[in-house]
Amino acid sequence: MKRLLFVCVENSCRSQMAEAFACIHGNGEIEIYSAGSRPSGKVNQKAIEAMQEIGYDLSRHDSKSLTEIPAVEYDFVVTMGCGDECPFVRAKQREDWMIQDPKTLPPDQFRKIRDEIEKKVKEVLCRMEGA
């Protein structure tokens, strides 16, 4: 089974939503993880609310550190624009999405980030299926 990892600094918004969308659209065929270089310890309430709007319960997710996920080579690692904050993780493929951290944005702009993440997750899943 292929492994997919989403990384951001706090593991509270972007990477959590990306993990959720990968679970929704991945059909159980990929091991999906998310983590942070400096995790906040909680999932952002705005992210929980934004995902509830589309029927996904993000409140059951946990904010976690890179040390809490398997130390393996991932098939694909996505960083969320965290630059030097995201340490190197072994991966066959990697990509940086440069997505703005939405935690301080109003709900309409937060939704736009959520929807952008969903689109990008679907693209990655399609590429992983073809690889």
**13 part of the active site:** no
**86 part of the active site:** yes
Q: From the candidates 13, 23, 86, 126, which is the catalytic residue?
A: 86
Q: From the candidates 13, 23, 82, 126, which is the catalytic residue?
A: 82
Q: Give, rounded to a whole angstrom, the gap between the first and last alpha carbons of the chain.
A: 12
Would you name the residues annotated as active-site residues? 8, 82, 86
